Amino acid sequence: MNKVIACLLLAVALLGMALVMLNQQLTPPAPTLQGPQSATSKLPDLPSIEGGRQSAPPVQDGQTARQELPPLPDSLEAPGAEHRAPVASTTLAEARSQETASAVQPPEPSAAVQPGTQAGAEKPAQEALDEARRQEQARAEAEAKRQEARRQEQAKAEAEAKRQEARRQEQAKAEAEAKRQEARKQEQAQQPRIKTGKVVVFARDKGATVRLSSAESIDYRHMVLKEPDRVVLDLQGSWNVSAAGVPRNVLVTNIRFGSFPGRTRVVIDMKGTPRQTRLSQTKDRRQLDVRVDQ
């Protein structure tokens, strides 16, 4: 609105200046006076006007004298008369009304804002806006990619943490299993190892043979005792010895077993004192024969 008012004031100022200049052009120059003249000097004669003048009608009684000017001729041209520029027919009131109308009406678009020029000016602006939008979209996509990369790195870190936790749990299980095995070994070492063996009695004509066989080596000591007559075998360690039935023979009547700390005793009961007692063992020490003769 301020721009419109300023334009109107500028237009009014320009119009006033134009009117002043036009008035100066239309006004004839004043004649140059040559020396002092008397006040009664005669003015130049006016040019003759075709058509002449008409005498005023007589004034009747009771009426106010009213002088009527004669009508102007169609042409004011006279030989030798000066030609002047035509006077503007627009009055001051009409000029003001035209200015008011021009103030009310919107100004016509100037050449700088013609549709073609405006479209040409809007095109770079639209391109700049599109470029800004593309840059903003590119920044948003780059930010989304960075966030996705951060999520993937976080997921990898979590997966690695889970794998490490699983490895720690497996290692803890392995350590616990190793401890249990070590405890079992210590228990087995503390507990006496039990060996197994089997006793078989073979009858002969003049005596009998008592055979002790095992899957492990046999360490022993023996004694021949009387009243009652018997042969005693003390086996080193803990043994679990089983014996079959004693067949009918002339000397051996029974086989007995007893356990003592650190040793196992095998007793061979006899009917009488044997004349000869012999013990023999194989090279691998896994078989022991006790031969008694009458």
The label of the residue with tokens 């350590």 reads 175
| Nearest Cα to Cα of residue 199 among 208, 190, 191, 188 | 208
Instruction: List pLDDT tens digits, range 81-115.
Output: 454 555 555 555 566 666 665 554 555 545 444 55
In the three-class reduction of DSSP (H, G, I as helix; E, B as strand; rest coil), residue 209 is classed as strand
Whole-number Å distance between alpha carbons of 144 and 138 = 10
Section 271-280 average pLDDT? 91
Whole-number Å distance between alpha carbons of 232 and 239 = 15
pLDDT band for position 281 (50/70/90)? very high
pLDDT band for position 62 (50/70/90)? very low
Note the pTM of the prediction, 2 decimals. 0.39
